[in-house]
């Protein structure tokens, strides 16, 4: 597979359907709605709040999204599955693809895309979001579906993201014909663990669709905002100064962790985001698959061999069966029936059951094992950067990932709360989010494990904060955040959850057989807030005009003290994570090729919430942006 080297955007991906002229008529006006978009790995949800509503407490509404559910039939659902299907010309009648806003939509997304892809996976684009933060690929190059044959039209993860957003835009514009989505205050959520490049790609996709007032928000924070919104003024009774809230968000495809501290500011409670976890590709889909393979193994023992479509049907059936087993302690087993594909139901129908014991062994023990807080997942080799395919978590033990996160962040609260670290940070409250933790058994188990660590360390058990709709909270929280930005509620402080560094090779005499040691220069310190900027003092780089220069790029979620310009010549391997390289290109304008221009680096957090690195020449007032999206194979 060949990945393009350059950011190439073929043509605008947004559909032509909606009246474009209407977009301009209100550009001058204030946005009427605050819209939250949960752009999930498996589902998208859209929620909104009317900003003109003078009601003291904003109440986010979920907008049902019209989408094709079968050919020719359009249904409204709260969730839009994040799938794109590249149909064959002969596969579907054109008339059957009509959407309320466009008789010939440019892309097939949502429920029908997912269902068709179930039977024809070679044409299904899925997990575009996970690709956005994958190090080894250029997200503007067209390579999805990954294993599709040559003749299947390929799209880039970037374009797939644009298509999901564009579907939401059209759905909104149809619902609110006078208030186009692009002119509203839009907050899109991203995983807390998204690196700067992935955030920039998400923001760029939103700009491509036309959003004019855009903000990015971390998903676990959106969940906290949703909790603030749903508890009204009661949240102040549920937490007190010194509390550390651990947000555990286990969705369909990813697990996202964050820590939020409750502090005091001028006599009022304030919330501060302390730390975020790594990007863990582990979620509910893994669990359904694990159950399906368990049943597959059971049937294999009985001498029945399953075909791929049957395994897939079992995966679906397991999803429902799992939910009833995990929510009702009286249910001991749930039948799993896979009807034959043919019109005869009697002959080929396969019947088995999923028992409580199987679910507990596979899910509860497999994904939430009782481990000690010292028990961490095996360190993944960074080879993942170059391998093709998504870097799924190797260790399915959510509890081990949790233990690793809490241990790694052991000192995160020292500065803010003055609490001594110990070997791991001790949360006092838990906020759960994501479809997986809807199951009471799994939520209770997670709480149990964390509390056993706390008890062993002599700390009080953590309490659970209640009141979230685990599927829709992120979108609602994002819509609410739009109101918070307008001053109608409590803002969680935190800034960026990672410090960023560029790698510099030390200038020292060359020694044969030895790589020059690498040093790291901090360019963006931990906790930089939106709209702020720093210049990196003390160090100049010579950039060659017209010649792209690459820097190695690192992030650290634990080095909180480094300021811009801090020079590291030594660090522990787990302290700095290497991110994809970044690239600076000085345009030729007014200079001769080959000229060396001394520049300093500066970092800025945009209002949108993305990191922007710039090169500033010693003379003149120009600034050149340093690109993140250079993930091609050099």
Between CA 222 and CA 595 the distance in angstroms is: 47
**Residue 130 CB, nearest distance to another protein (Å)?**
29
Query: Is position 327 an interface residue for another protein (rule: CB under 8 A)?
Result: no
Among positions 301, 305, 351, 618, the unique one binding another protein when judged by CB under 8 A: 351
Rank residues 354 and 484 by Cβ distance to another protein and give the closer one: 354
Query: Cβ distance 603 to 611 under 8 Å?
Result: yes
Instruction: Please report how close the Cβ of residue 341 comes to another protein at its closest, in angstroms.
Output: 7
| Sole binder of another protein in the list 70, 147, 372, 394 (CB under 8 A) | 70
535 counts as binding another protein under rule CB under 8 A: no
Nearer to another protein, 309 or 380 (CB): 309
* CA gap 431, 467 in Å, rounded: 9
557/548 Cα distance (integer angstroms): 29
**Is the CB of 334 or the CB of 429 nearer to another protein?**
334
Nearer to another protein, 57 or 324 (CB): 324
Exactly one of 344, 379, 387, 532 binds another protein (CB under 8 A); which one? 344
Q: For residues 220 and 209, give the distance between their C-alpha atoms in angstroms, rounded to a whole number.
A: 25
Query: At closest approach, how far in Å is the CB of 78 from another protein?
Result: 13
Stretch binding another protein (CB under 8 A), from 52-60, 178-186, 346-354, 482-490? 346-354
Integer distance in angstroms from the first to the last C-alpha of the chain?
14
R_g (Cα) of the chain, nearest Å: 25
Please tell me the distance from the alpha carbon of residue 79 to that of residue 62, in angstroms, as a whole number. Answer: 9
Under rule CB under 8 A, residue 337 binds another protein: yes
Give 115 or 407: the residue with its C-beta nearer to another protein.
Answer: 115
Q: How far is the CB of 164 from another protein (least distance, A)?
A: 21
**Residue 323 binds to another protein (criterion: CB under 8 A):** no
Which C-beta is closer to another protein: that of 103 or that of 300?
103
Q: How far is the CB of 66 from another protein (least distance, A)?
A: 8
Nearer to another protein, 147 or 349 (CB): 349
Owner of token pair 């081990």: 400
Task: Establish whether the linkage from the previous residue to 409 is cis, with ω within 30° of 0.
Answer: no
Cβ 343 to another protein shortest distance, Å: 5
Distance between CA atoms of 259 and 248, rounded to whole angstroms?
9
> Measuring CA to CA, how many Å separate 100 from each of 67, 68, 79, 80, 161?
9, 10, 17, 15, 21
Q: Which stretch binds another protein (CB under 8 A): 27-35, 339-347, 437-445, 595-603?
A: 339-347
Of 4, 106, 118, 339, the one binding another protein (CB under 8 A) is 339
Select the span of 37-45, 123-131, 135-143, 331-339 touching another protein (CB under 8 A).
331-339
Positions in 183-242 near another protein (CB under 8 A): none
Shortest reach from residue 73's CB to another protein, in Å = 4
Q: Name the one residue in this structure whose structure tokens are 């396969």.
A: 350
409 near 246, Cβ under 8 Å?
no
**For another protein, what does the binding mask look like between residues 104 and 143, x meaning CB under 8 A?**
---------------x------------------------
Q: In whole angstroms, how close is the CB of 72 to another protein at the nearest point? A: 3
Query: Which range binds another protein by CB under 8 A, 15-23, 158-166, 341-349, 420-428?
Result: 341-349
In the bound state with another protein, the residue whose beta carbon lies nearer, of 183 and 314, is: 314
Of 477, 604, 580, nearest to 132 by C-alpha is: 580
**Are 69 and 112 contacting, i.e. CB atoms less than 8 angstroms apart?**
yes
Rule CB under 8 A: is residue 341 a binding residue for another protein?
yes
Q: Is the CB of 52 or the CB of 343 nearer to another protein?
A: 343
Which of 447, 294, 301 is closest to 360 using CA atoms? 294
Residue 425, Cα to own-chain centre: how many angstroms? 24
Which 3-state string (H, E, C) describes 371-433? CCCCCCCCCCCHHHHCCCCCCCCCCCCHHHHHHHHHHHCCCCCHHHHCCCCCCCCCCCEEEEE
Alpha-carbon distance of 274 to 262, in angstroms, equals 10
Distance of CA 163 to the CA centre of its chain: 17
Residue 150 or 572: which CB sits closer to another protein? 150
Least CB distance to another protein at residue 328 (A): 16
Interaction with another protein in 72-101: which residues (CB under 8 A)? 72-76, 93-98, 100
| Distance (Å, whole) CA 334 – CA 324 | 8
Q: Total binding residues for another protein by CB under 8 A?
A: 28
Query: DSSP characters for 529-567?
Result: PTT-EEE--S--EEEETTS-EEEEEEEESS--S--TT-E
Candidates 335, 548, 587, 593; binder of another protein (CB under 8 A) is: 335
Which residue in the set 57, 268, 327, 349 belongs to the binding site for another protein (CB under 8 A)?
Answer: 349
- Residue in 350, 351, 314 with CA at minimum distance from that of residue 335: 351
CA dist 90 to 87, 148, 153, 375, 476, Å?
8, 17, 14, 53, 40
Interacting residues toward another protein by CB under 8 A? 66, 69-76, 93-98, 100, 103, 119, 335, 337, 339, 341, 343-346, 349, 351
């Amino acid at each position: 597979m060949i990945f393009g080297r350059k950011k190439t955007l073929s043509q605008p991906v947004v559909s032509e359907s909606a009246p474009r002229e209407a977009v301009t008529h209100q550009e001058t006006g204030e946005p009427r709605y605050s819209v939250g978009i949960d752009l999930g790995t498996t589902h998208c949800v859209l929620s909104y709040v009317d900003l003109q509503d003078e009601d003291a407490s904003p109440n986010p509404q979920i907008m049902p999204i019209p989408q094709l559910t079968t050919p020719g039939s359009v249904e409204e659902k709260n969730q839009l599955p994040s799938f794109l299907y590249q149909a064959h010309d002969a596969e579907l009648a054109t008339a059957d693809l009509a959407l309320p806003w466009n008789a010939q939509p440019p892309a097939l997304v949502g429920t029908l895309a997912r269902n068709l892809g179930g039977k024809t996976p070679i044409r299904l684009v899925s997990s575009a979001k996970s690709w956005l933060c994958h190090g080894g690929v250029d997200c503007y190059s067209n390579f999805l579906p990954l294993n599709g044959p040559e003749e299947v039209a390929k799209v880039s993860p970037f374009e797939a993201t644009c298509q999901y957003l564009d579907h939401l835009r059209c759905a909104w514009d149809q619902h609110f014909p006078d208030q186009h989505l692009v002119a509203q205050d839009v907050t899109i959520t991203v995983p807390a663990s998204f690196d700067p490049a992935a955030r920039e790609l998400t923001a760029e996709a939103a700009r491509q669709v036309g959003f004019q007032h855009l903000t990015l928000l971390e998903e676990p924070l959106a969940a906290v905002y949703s909790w603030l919104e749903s508890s009204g003024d009661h949240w102040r009774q549920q937490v007190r100064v010194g509390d550390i809230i651990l947000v555990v968000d286990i969705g369909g495809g990813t697990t996202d962790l964050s820590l939020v501290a409750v502090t005091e500011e001028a006599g009022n409670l304030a919330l501060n985001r302390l730390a975020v976890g790594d990007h863990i590709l582990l979620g509910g889909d893994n669990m359904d698959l694990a159950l399906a393979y368990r049943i597959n193994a059971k049937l294999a023992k009985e001498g029945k061999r399953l075909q791929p479509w049957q395994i897939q049907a079992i995966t679906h059936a397991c999803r429902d069966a799992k939910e009833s087993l995990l929510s009702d302690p009286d249910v001991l087993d749930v039948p799993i029936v896979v009807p034959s594909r043919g019109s005869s139901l009697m002959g080929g129908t396969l019947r088995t059951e999923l028992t409580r014991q199987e679910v507990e062994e596979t899910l509860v023990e497999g994904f939430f094992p009782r481990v000690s807080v010292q028990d961490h997942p095996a360190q993944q080799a960074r080879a993942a950067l170059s391998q093709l395919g998504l870097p799924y978590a190797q260790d399915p033990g959510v509890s081990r990932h949790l233990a690793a996160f809490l241990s790694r962040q052991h000192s995160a609260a020292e500065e803010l709360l003055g609490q001594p670290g110990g070997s791991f940070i001790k949360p006092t409250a838990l906020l759960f989010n994501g479809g997986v933790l809807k199951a009471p058994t799994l939520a209770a188990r997670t709480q149990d494990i964390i509390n056993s660590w706390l008890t062993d360390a002599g700390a009080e058990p953590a309490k659970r904060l209640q009141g979230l709709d685990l599927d829709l909270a992120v979108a609602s929280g994002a819509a609410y955040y739009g109101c918070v930005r307008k001053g109608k509620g409590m803002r969680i402080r935190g800034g960026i959850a990672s410090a960023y560094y560029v790698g510099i090779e030390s200038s020292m005499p060359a020694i044969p057989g030895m790589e020059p040691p690498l040093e790291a220069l901090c360019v963006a310190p931990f906790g930089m807030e939106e709209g702020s900027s720093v210049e990196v003092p003390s160090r100049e780089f010579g950039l060659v005009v017209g010649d792209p220069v690459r820097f190695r790029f690192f992030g650290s979620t634990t080095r909180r003290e480094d300021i811009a310009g801090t020079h590291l010549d030594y660090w522990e391997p787990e302290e700095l994570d290497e991110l994809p390289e970044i690239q600076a290109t000085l345009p030729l304008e007014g200079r001769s090729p080959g000229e060396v221009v001394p520049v300093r680096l500066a970092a800025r957090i945009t209002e949108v919430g993305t990191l922007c690195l710039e090169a500033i020449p010693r003379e003149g007032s120009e600034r050149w942006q340093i690109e993140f999206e250079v993930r091609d194979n050099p």
